[in-house]
Amino acid sequence: MHGPKSRCFIILLLVASIGHSQGFSIPGVSSKYDSGDTIEKLVEAESIPLARMEQERQTYRKQKRAWLSLNQRMTTVRKTAGNLYGFQNPFNNRIANSSDKSILAATADRTAVEDEVSIQVKRVAGADRFVSKSLPKDYKAPAGTYRFRVGEEEIRINFRGGTLKELADAINGKAGDFLEASVVSDSKTTQVFLIESKKTGARNSLILYDQAAAFAEEAGIIERSLEASRSIQLSRHSVEGSEITVSDETLTLNPVSEAKIPLRPPHTMKANMVLSLEVRVQRLPEEAYQEPTPPPGPAIPSVGGIDFEGIGVESARSRTVLPAWEPPEPPERVDDLKILFVQEGDSVTALPPLQDSEQFVPLQFEASQLPPRIDSLIARNRNTHRIVEIRNIRIYDKTARGDYRAVNPLSSAEDAVIVMNGIEITRESNEIDDLLPGVNITLHGSGDQPVSLSVSRDLESIKEGLFNFIGYYNQLLMHIDILTRQDEGALEAAVFLDDDEKEQAEEDLGLFRGNTTLMQLKSRLQRIMMDPHPTDGGRHLSLLAQIGISTSGGRFQTSGLVDRTRLRGYLQIDEDKLEESVNRMGDWIKQLFGYDSDNDLAIDSGAAYQIDKYLKAYVEVGGIVSSRMAVLDNSIARKDREIERYNEHLEDYEAALRIKFGAMEGALNNLEKSSQAIENLNRRND
Mean pLDDT in residue range 388-416: 88
Same domain? 105 vs 200: no
CATH value at residue 268: 2.60.120.260
Distance CA 195, CA 187 (A): 19
The phi and psi torsions of 25 (rounded to 5 degrees) equal -115, 155
Secondary structure percentages of the chain, helix, strand, coil, to 5:
40, 30, 35
Compute the distance between CA of residue 550 and CA of residue 556 in angstroms, rounded to an integer. Answer: 11
**Total domains in the fold of the chain:** 5
Same domain for 565 and 519? yes
Q: 253-257, 355-359, 568-572, 609-613 — which one is most confidently predicted on average? A: 609-613
The CA distance from 350 to 348, in Å, is 7
The chain-wide mean pLDDT, for the chain, equals 86
* Residues 246 and 363 occupy one common structural domain: yes
Which parts of 33-133 fold into alpha helices (H)? 35-46, 48-85
Indicate the DSSP class of residue 385.
Answer: S
In a domain, 322, yes or no: no
Instruction: Check whether residue 357 and residue 280 sit in a common domain.
Output: yes
CATH number reported for the structural domain that contains residue 141 in this entry: 2.60.40
Of 224, 249, 273, which residue is a domain's last?
224
Least confident range of 65-69, 133-137, 555-559:
555-559
Q: How confident is the model at residue 391 (pLDDT cuts 50, 70, 90)?
A: very high
The residue-averaged pLDDT of 581-610 equals: 93
Q: Picking from 318-327, 444-453, 549-558, which range would have the lowest pLDDT averaged per residue? A: 549-558
In a domain, 686, yes or no: no
> CA 219 to CA 139: how far, in whole Å?
10
- Say if residues 357 and 281 touch (Cβ distance below 8 Å): yes
The Cα 95–Cα 262 span in angstroms is: 51
Instruction: Note whether 566 and 471 are same-domain residues.
Output: yes
My answer on whether 508 and 568 are in the same domain is: yes
Query: Is position 539 within any domain?
Result: yes
Is the pLDDT at 495 greater than 60? The verdict is: yes
The 10 Å CB-count burial string (b at 16+, else e) for 264-277 is: eeebebeebbbbeb
Which residues make beta-bridge pairs with 312? Answer: 307
Domain-terminating residue out of 622, 657, 679: 622
Same domain, 143 and 250: no
The predicted structure's pLDDT at residue 307:
72
Please tell me whether residues 504 and 541 are part of one structural domain. yes
Q: Considering the domain boundaries, does residue 343 fall inside one?
A: yes
**pLDDT tens digits along 30-59:** 445 677 888 888 888 888 999 999 999 999
Same domain, 65 and 182: no
CA distance 334 to 686: 163
Domain identity same for 574 and 594? yes
In a domain, 310, yes or no: no
Dihedral of CA atoms 154, 160, 165, 167 in degrees, nearest 10, equals 10
Q: Please tell me the distance from the alpha carbon of residue 85 to that of residue 473, in angstroms, as a whole number.
A: 16
Structural domain span for residue 475: 55-90+460-622
Whether 347 and 259 map to the same domain: the answer is yes
94-98 and 451-457: which strand pairing? antiparallel
Tens of pLDDT, residues 170-193: 999 999 899 999 999 999 999 999
Q: What is the pLDDT of residue 320?
A: 65
E strands of 324-465, at which residues? 340-344, 347-350, 361-366, 373-381, 386-397, 400-401, 404-406, 409-411, 416-420, 423-427, 431-432, 439-443, 451-457
Q: Is 305 inside any structural domain? A: no
CA-based nearest residue to 350, from 379, 328, 325: 379
536-592 per-position pLDDT tens digit: 999 999 999 999 999 864 444 444 433 444 546 789 999 999 999 999 999 999 999
Of residues 273 and 606, more confidently modeled: 606
Q: Would residue 383 count as lying in a domain?
A: yes
d(CA 66, CA 69) in angstroms, rounded, equals: 5
Whether residue 299 lies inside any domain: the answer is no
Q: Which of 682, 678, 659 is nearest to 670 (CA)?
A: 678
Give pTM, 2 decimals: 0.66
On whether both 437 and 486 belong to a single domain, the answer is no
